[in-house]
Amino acid sequence: MATVVTMPKLGTTMEEGTIIKWLKKEGEPVEKGEAYVEIQTDKVNLEDEAPESGILRKILVPEGAVVSVGKEIAIIAGVDEPLPEIGEEKAKEVAGPASKDFKTGEEIKEQPKETEAVEGKVKASPAARRVARENDIDLSKVTPTGPDGRIIEKDVIDFIESQKIKATPLAKKIAEEQGIDLAKIQKAPGERITREDLISKEEQKQQAPVAARIRNTIPVTGMRKIIAEKMAKSKVTAPHIYLTLEVDMTKAMELREKLIPAIQNQYGSKLSYNDILIKASAVAIKQNPIINSSFNDNEIIIKEDINIGLAVALENGLIVPIVRCADKKGLGEISKDTTQLIEKARSGKLLPDDYQGGTFTITNLGMYDIENFKAIINQPESAILAVGKIMKKPVVVDDQIVIRPMMNLTLSCDHRVIDGAQGAKFLQSIKQILEEPLKMLM
């Protein structure tokens, strides 16, 4: 039995997908479970597997097409098996009218008329043709007044006169002085351009804003479309409050340097500041569980699992892979997880389980020399932590001015869920952990 394959739902937020590449061509055999098409979701590129074995008889949508979830994209069937009607109709829609390499009898009969129109066989006197040739006039545009629809010399001369721009002497002088193209002044046929027309044109030119030249346009599709929709929705529906403080990273940096060799040897990954921030945030969330929540109509849902997302920049947007149950993992496990997730994200190999189900997000722009910034909450989460660059600054310690590596943290909170004092306590918890990092190892 023929199988009509539809656009699969490859994630909870997926509403449409883009056909990136057909891995099988029409007429090629495909086995059940074999990858036959590459699809771009709102997050990543994934290969979809054939639901049945057979021949890929029909491809219903071309590469690059955006298709809603549940819509037909292909038909898999036996060699001689009749195809469902829907497949035939869709194939015609996608392919469009079939091109012809032959002409029917009727087309051949009509061909002389088409040739006459194309070649412009016009009846005209020799004098008319000479004037037209000298003035580069297309005789097919001239209205004939001679016998039997013939164009005479006067017809060509009248046509030339009708094409001339008529303007008063003063208008011509003003146009010449100010560099105004009289051909761009619109007047009714036969009417002359006057000084008032030029003044009106100049006023319009001065009033009209000068548009910037367009370099190119980028279609808002796939990942960029989802980012635009989610960020706009978050700013509209979640009243953001922002809280910022500075953290002395001296001891956190020392701990990192001590642990790098051991974690590298045991887990094959290099411990990063993001790994330390993930662990510190997870410990702080256990102390402040309201941060690990979401708003749902008339209730606040506090999550049990602490799944921390790390924003990863991609060429065409960003994605937030998840470190699950980060509070229960050590720094080595977290480092291994983030290394693998970042590699998968940048190669487009993330699976839905890798980026769905987060409860809190960290976004770090310190590597771009950004000192501090305010991030937009990644709904349905209720908070996001924005991390700035570690910078050496003069600070007062025990009444002495010393130079310390300082880092800004800015917490964005959904005020429907988290009050300012609650957000501040959470930031204080992170600060205490980072400034005494052995606490998160206990």
Q: Which residues are catalytic?
A: 415
* 3-class secondary-structure state, position 375: coil
Closest by CA to 5, choosing from 26, 14, 13, 276, is 26
CA angle (323 as vertex; 269, 370 as ends), nearest 5: 75
Two structure tokens written together for 352: 């839905």
CB atoms within 10 A of CB 115: 10
List all residues 6 or more positions away from 123 whose beta carbon is below 8 Å from its beta carbon: 144, 146, 148, 149, 150, 151
Residues 128, 133, 134, 137, CA torsion sign: positive
Which single residue is written with the structure tokens 């769905």? 356
Do 410 and 373 form a contact (C-beta atoms < 8 A)? Answer: yes
Which single residue is written with the structure tokens 């346009």? 217
Closest by CA to 284, choosing from 107, 422, 110, 121, is 422
Closest by CA to 334, choosing from 284, 266, 385, 389, is 266
Phi then psi dihedrals of residue 396, to 5 deg: -95, 120
